[in-house]
Amino acid sequence: MSRLTLEIGQVVVETEAERVRLEAATPNIQEAFRLLAERLERSPFGRFGEARQYALERLEISALPLDELLSPRGAERLADELYRQLLRRST
């Protein structure tokens, strides 16, 4: 199996939280994308080539509160939600 690479151009987090709390979420966001890449590599998305690039152009999550993102399972929750969005788009 070839290694899947995710190229992330921009991540925008819209929140009313203070900047310090938001910056604390950065490691969890990075880990979430690493987990997402692992899941995609094991899924049919890992075999789509150009279609895979199209599917990843824009993902938007609005249902994950900042407190949950900062929690010990925050990265996993974000990766799960991103993966669910990709599955919805592919059906």
pLDDT tens digits for range 20-49: 777 888 899 899 988 988 888 887 766 665
Q: What is the pTM of this model?
A: 0.73
Between 50 and 37, the more confident residue is: 37
Q: What tokens were used for 18?
A: 């203070």
Looking at per-residue confidence, does 5 or 38 come out higher? 38
Q: b/e string for 44-53 if b means 16 or more Cβ within 10 A?
A: ebbeeeeebe
